[in-house]
Amino acid sequence: QYTGVESANTGRILSYVGLALSLIMLIFLILYFGVIMAFIASGEFQDDW
């Protein structure tokens, strides 16, 4: 009984940790590409001016 509950709790914790890590990686990827796009846009605007 205890082993079943512990395994369920650990599985739930691991799933939450996985979701949190995936969300953090997604946010970092969005920020990374946003910075790159900002640099490209600023470079293009500077070239135009």
Q: Which structure tokens are listed for 38? A: 């900002």
pLDDT of 49: 55
48 pLDDT higher than 70? no
The Cα–Cα gap between 24 and 5 comes to 28
pTM across the whole model: 0.58
Q: Which structure tokens are listed for 49? A: 């001016």
* pLDDT tens-digit readout, 16-32: 999 999 999 999 999 99
pLDDT of 3: 64
